Amino acid sequence: MNTILELHNLKKYFATQKAVDDISFDIQQGDIFGLLGPNGAGKTTLIRMITGIFYPDSGSITFEGKKFDPVSDARHIGYMPEERGLYRKMKIGEHALYLAQLKGMGRHEAMQKVKLWFEKFEMQSWWNKRVEDLSKGMSQKLQFVTTVLHEPRLIILDEPFSGLDPVNANLIKDEIFRLAKNGSTIIFSTHRMEQVEEICDHIALVNKGKKILDGTVKNIKHTFKENHYQIGAAVLPEHLMTPIFKVIKAQSDSLLVQLFEDTRTNDVLRYFINKNIDVYSFKEVLPSLSDIFIKLVEGSPEARQFQSIN
Amino acid sequence: MNKTGLIIQREYLSRVRNRTFLLSTFLLPIVFMLFIFGSAFFSSHSKKEEKKIAVINDPGMFRYNLKDDSGSVLFYFPAATDTTNYLNKGYDALLDMNNDSVHKTFTLYSQRQIDLDNKEIIENNLDRAYANNQLQENGISKAVVDSIDQQTTDAYAITNNVTKEKGETQKVNVELNYGIGFGCGTLIYITLLVFGSMVMRGVKEEKTNRIVEIIISSVEPFELMMGKIFGIAAVALTQLFLWFALITILFAAATWLLPSGAMNHAQQAAQALHGGGYDNTMQLKIAAVLQTIHSINLLGIVGCFVFYFLGGFLFYAALFAAVGSTINEDSQDTQALTLPITMPVIFSFIILSSNITNPDSPVMVWASIIPFSSPIVMMGRIPGGVPLWQLGLSMTFLIAGFFLTTLLAAKIYRTGILMYGKKSSWKEMIKWAFRKS
């Protein structure tokens, strides 16, 4: 796999805040990359540098092996910001055409693509309606279409599902998978962890302008696992004090336990066998990203404080 | 098509196709015509009431000489009238001369303050009566004095010929040039504010509905700002052109359809509207206008108008855009932020309207060269002729000024457009403007 985007020691300081403070990571082509972080962590500033809206104070961005050039590379990037809007008085078809042409498509080519996507999302009848007549979900669909219309090689979606009903959210989710399969790279910024687990291959977690974690979702979960196991059994042993595990949660027919160090899973099974209790299920429980996120971010003050630079 | 071109196209079409644009383009000339003809109609059908003035304690020289030809006041010399009873006797005012032939200040008693016109008329009549009395005291008979007085009322007029370089002379019409200059200056003043704030609102709209982040991930903020400014400039030129064309057509149609008397009234009213004031020689002046209309360098004036309109608009539009970029949803502080931009525009217009009768005075010359005021003030001078070096300097400064304001404004715009939730002060904006990028 090729590396499509490399960030090297990016920094962006504002008057009262180190918005992005020395962040580096790589993104592979075709990946769905989750950029996570609490509110105010610096995600949007980071994205704005990747889209060429902000220039970094220092550090560099490499796009497809070359130094990132906001003017010429804009054609290959599709960006859907979190706070997004449209020209309210414009007709929907014209609006989609306009944004596609601003990305550098010819009018004819843009027209074909817009029609194709409108058909796919069943939006043909919208063409001559005005943007102000759209519901929130509808305009979000339009925004998604205008983001991916020009077949960008890098697609950046900032909270793409906020405000969408499950049906439309699934529609867009499927589209994201399809685009990634066809070779587009997707950066997916959110603080909704369950979506990240479902969609992303790789993630990076930023907090207070710094990257505190990155890797594949699987690896990260293994790194943060706490030896939790779920045991389903017919009868629960009466005395649960044992040197091999600690019970975290007990229910009528299942136990959540944490194995002590050096305990092997078979030791647990043996313990149940010795007690002659039938085990129906035995499953490792990996921490959710949400748990990891909270664990890592916790302890830092809830709201980011203003700081003085220099 | 390049991206700025696309933006210009969108800004232009989205405004020109708008219902408000069509309404204002077609209704305004009609309203304008109705206003002129309407006021002409009313002024020709309403007669000014003559004020009756009782004169008492005449020192002797006024009784047979004081009279008024303008139809504004009537002088009476009644007996047994004083400050206590003049109203009861049906007079509007009482002029007490105190039997004083030495001091030249008299007191006028009236129920309400007299208007400025009448004050001037009475003073002129007193001057004339005094002069006529002096003539009679020096042995000229009253009959002769009266006859001279009648002959010399508005008897003379000046036509002005301007000497050109090679000794040629050209007849000019001072009143017409004054009217055109003031009209053009006023038009630039109004359009500058109207279309300047259109730029500001456009920028503010893009910012508050958050489309701007999507756009500037495709184009440079500078391209977006310039696209908007040029698009709106094109809208303004279109509208001005349509107004001009429509008013010409309507005037032509009116001249053709209406009886000539009505036209005369309309022209008088139009002249009066442009600040000319109405006086007895207006008819003569209108005749002179028609005679000298060919003396106007129409092409030159239109060319200068387009230049100064565009130059002034571009000079200020970038500043308006910068302010628009710093406004948030809550636009309480819009006023405070726009004031520093609208002040010089308004001030230029004040300079124009208070000095237009003296277009070569130092304040007019300087104001027509400095780019903050030159678009409005220079237009007031151009019809009467401006030395080429001044015109050249003024134009150069305006173009240079445009580049300077645009450069500074672009930096403010770039920062302001993505700032949300925070109130921006002028201090901060100046800091952004001079920051190295």
Of B116, B110, B132, the residue nearest B52 (C-alpha):
B110
Determine, yes or no, domain membership for A81.
yes
Q: Cβ of B218 under 8 Å from any chain A Cβ?
A: yes
Residues B382 and B290 placed together within one structural domain of the fold: yes
User: How many interface pairs between A and B have CB atoms less than 8 angstroms apart?
Assistant: 63
Q: Which of B118, B151, B184 is the last residue of a domain?
A: B151
Nearest by CB to B217, from A53, A101, A107: name it.
Answer: A53
Computed from CA positions of residues B185, B187, B188, B194, in that sequence, does the dihedral angle turn out positive or negative?
Answer: positive
Residues B349 and B239 placed together within one structural domain of the fold: yes
Q: Is B172 helix (H, G, I), strand (E, B) or coil?
A: strand
Cα–Cα dist A207/A205, whole Å: 7
pLDDT in tens, A255-303: 888 888 888 888 888 888 888 888 889 888 888 888 888 888 776 655 4
Q: Is A279 helix (H, G, I), strand (E, B) or coil?
A: strand
Chain B residues 32-71 with a CB less than 8 Å from chain A: none
A46 CB-near residues (< 8 Å, 6+ apart)? A7, A10, A12, A20, A23, A35, A206
Instruction: Kindly give the pairing relationship between strand B169-172 and strand B160-163.
Output: antiparallel
Determine, yes or no, domain membership for B166.
no
Please give the pLDDT value at position B276. 44
CA A168 to centroid of chain Cα atoms: 18
Could you tell me the CATH number of the domain that includes residue B111? 3.40.190.10
Task: Name which residue leads in pLDDT, B291 or A152.
Answer: A152
Min Cα separation A60/chain B (Å): 17
pLDDT in tens, A70-89: 888 888 999 998 877 889 88
Residue B110, strand partner residues: B93
Residues B8 and B127 placed together within one structural domain of the fold: no
Determine, yes or no, domain membership for A301.
no
Please give the pLDDT value at position A176. 92
Determine, yes or no, domain membership for B324.
yes
Please give the pLDDT value at position B287. 57
Please give the pLDDT value at position A161. 87
SS3 per residue for B378-399: HHHHHHHCCCHHHHHHHHHHHH
Could you tell me the CATH number of the domain that includes residue A172? 3.40.50.300
Residue B311 has pLDDT above 90, yes or no: yes
Residues A218 and A253 placed together within one structural domain of the fold: no
Cα–Cα dist B199/A92, whole Å: 23
Residues B143 and B285 placed together within one structural domain of the fold: no
Residues B60 and B17 placed together within one structural domain of the fold: no
**Residue-range definition of the domain harbouring residue B9:** 3-42+171-433
Determine, yes or no, domain membership for B189.
yes
> How many folded domains does chain B comprise?
2
Determine, yes or no, domain membership for B162.
no
Determine, yes or no, domain membership for A150.
yes
Which residues of chain B does A83 touch, with a Cβ-Cβ cutoff of 8 Å? 210, 213, 420
Task: Name which residue leads in pLDDT, B339 or A235.
Answer: B339
Sheet of A66-67: strands edge to edge?
A17-28, A3-14, A58-63, A66-67
Task: Name which residue leads in pLDDT, B275 or A28.
Answer: A28
Cα–Cα dist A139/A160, whole Å: 12
Q: Which of B95, B118, B151 is the last residue of a domain?
A: B151
Tokens 């017409």 belong to B176
Residues B218 and B360 placed together within one structural domain of the fold: yes
**Residue-range definition of the domain harbouring residue A243:** 226-285
* Measured distance between the N- and C-terminal CA atoms of chain A, rounded to whole angstroms: 41
Which residues of chain B does A81 touch, with a Cβ-Cβ cutoff of 8 Å? 210, 213-214, 217
Residues B286 and B326 placed together within one structural domain of the fold: yes
Residues B14 and B101 placed together within one structural domain of the fold: no
pLDDT in tens, A39-67: 888 888 899 999 888 888 899 999 998 99
Determine, yes or no, domain membership for B314.
yes
Residues A60 and A198 placed together within one structural domain of the fold: yes
Which residues of chain B does A14 touch, with a Cβ-Cβ cutoff of 8 Å? none
The DSSP call for residue A64 is T
* Measured distance between the N- and C-terminal CA atoms of chain B, rounded to whole angstroms: 28
- pLDDT confidence of B348, banded at 50, 70, 90? very high
Residue B350 has pLDDT above 90, yes or no: yes
Question: H/E element holding A17?
Answer: strand A17-28
Question: H/E element holding B213?
Answer: helix B212-215
Of B356, B357, B179, the residue nearest B270 (C-alpha):
B179
Residues A168 and A238 placed together within one structural domain of the fold: no
Q: Are B214 and A81 in contact (CB under 8 A)?
A: yes
| H-type alpha helices, A89-241 | 92-102, 107-120, 136-148, 166-181, 193-199, 217-223
CA B437 to centroid of chain Cα atoms: 42
B/e letters for B28-45, b = 16+ CB within 10 Å, e = fewer, are: ebeebbeebbebbeeeee
Tokens of B61: 């020289």
Q: How many CB atoms lie within 10 A of CB A146?
A: 24
Residues B203 and B120 placed together within one structural domain of the fold: no
Q: Which of A197, A222, A247 is the last residue of a domain?
A: A222
Tell me the mean pLDDT in the region B76-94. Answer: 87
Min Cα separation A74/chain B (Å): 6
pLDDT in tens, A207-263: 888 888 888 988 888 888 888 888 888 777 766 677 788 888 888 788 888 888 888
Cα–Cα dist A199/A210, whole Å: 23
Rg (CA), chain A: 24
> How many folded domains does chain A comprise?
2
Which residues of chain B does A77 touch, with a Cβ-Cβ cutoff of 8 Å? 217
Please give the pLDDT value at position B275. 45
Min Cα separation A201/chain B (Å): 26
Residues A36 and A179 placed together within one structural domain of the fold: yes
Tokens of B202: 């456009």
Residues A155 and A230 placed together within one structural domain of the fold: no
Determine, yes or no, domain membership for A310.
no
Could you tell me the CATH number of the domain that includes residue A272? 3.30.70
Which residues of chain B does A80 touch, with a Cβ-Cβ cutoff of 8 Å? 214
Number of helices and strands in chain B (H, E): 15, 6
Determine, yes or no, domain membership for B159.
no
Task: Name which residue leads in pLDDT, B388 or B269.
Answer: B388
B158 CB-near residues (< 8 Å, 6+ apart)? none
ipTM: 0.82
Residues B57 and B89 placed together within one structural domain of the fold: yes
Question: H/E element holding A280?
Answer: strand A279-285
Task: Name which residue leads in pLDDT, B151 or A187.
Answer: A187
Residues A165 and A101 placed together within one structural domain of the fold: yes
Q: Are A115 and A107 in contact (CB under 8 A)?
A: no
Residues A144 and A275 placed together within one structural domain of the fold: no
Determine, yes or no, domain membership for B156.
no
Residues A57 and A133 placed together within one structural domain of the fold: yes
Q: Which of B151, B186, B215 is the last residue of a domain?
A: B151
Residues B355 and B218 placed together within one structural domain of the fold: yes
The DSSP call for residue B231 is H
The DSSP call for residue B71 is S
Determine, yes or no, domain membership for A308.
no
Tell me the mean pLDDT in the region B213-229. Answer: 91
CA-CA distances (angstroms) from residue B85 to B80, B88, B100?
A: 9, 5, 22
The pLDDT > 70 percentage for chain B reads 87
Please give the pLDDT value at position B97. 87
Determine, yes or no, domain membership for B165.
no
Please give the pLDDT value at position B278. 45
Q: Cβ of A51 under 8 Å from any chain B Cβ?
A: yes
Determine, yes or no, domain membership for A121.
yes
Determine, yes or no, domain membership for A75.
yes
Which residues of chain B does A103 touch, with a Cβ-Cβ cutoff of 8 Å? 218
Tell me the mean pLDDT in the region B303-312. Answer: 93
pLDDT in tens, B66-75: 888 777 888 9
Cα–Cα dist B259/B266, whole Å: 11
Tokens 């974690």 belong to A213
Q: How many CB atoms lie within 10 A of CB B80?
A: 7
Task: Name which residue leads in pLDDT, A252 or B126.
Answer: B126
Tell me the mean pLDDT in the region A26-36. Answer: 91
Residues B36 and B61 placed together within one structural domain of the fold: no
Cα–Cα dist B300/B344, whole Å: 26
pLDDT in tens, A141-181: 899 999 999 899 999 999 888 878 888 889 889 999 999 99
Please give the pLDDT value at position B279. 46
Min Cα separation A105/chain B (Å): 10
Range in A42-51, A73-82, B15-24, B272-281 the model is least confident about: B272-281
Residues A276 and A240 placed together within one structural domain of the fold: yes
Determine, yes or no, domain membership for A307.
no
Q: Are A17 and A307 in contact (CB under 8 A)?
A: yes
Q: Which of A222, A238, A273 is the last residue of a domain?
A: A222
Cα–Cα dist A110/A151, whole Å: 11
Residue A61, strand partner residues: A7
Q: Cβ of B210 under 8 Å from any chain A Cβ?
A: yes
Q: Are A93 and A127 in contact (CB under 8 A)?
A: yes
CA-CA distances (angstroms) from residue B167 to A220, B163, B252, B317, B360?
A: 95, 6, 37, 44, 22
Residues A167 and A254 placed together within one structural domain of the fold: no
Min Cα separation B27/chain A (Å): 23
Q: Cβ of B20 under 8 Å from any chain A Cβ?
A: no
Which residues of chain A does B210 touch, with a Cβ-Cβ cutoff of 8 Å? 81, 83-85
Counting beta carbons within 10 angstroms of the beta carbon of residue A212, is it exposed (0 to 12), middle (13 to 18) or buried (19 or more)?
A: middle
Counting beta carbons within 10 angstroms of the beta carbon of residue B273, is it exposed (0 to 12), middle (13 to 18) or buried (19 or more)?
A: middle
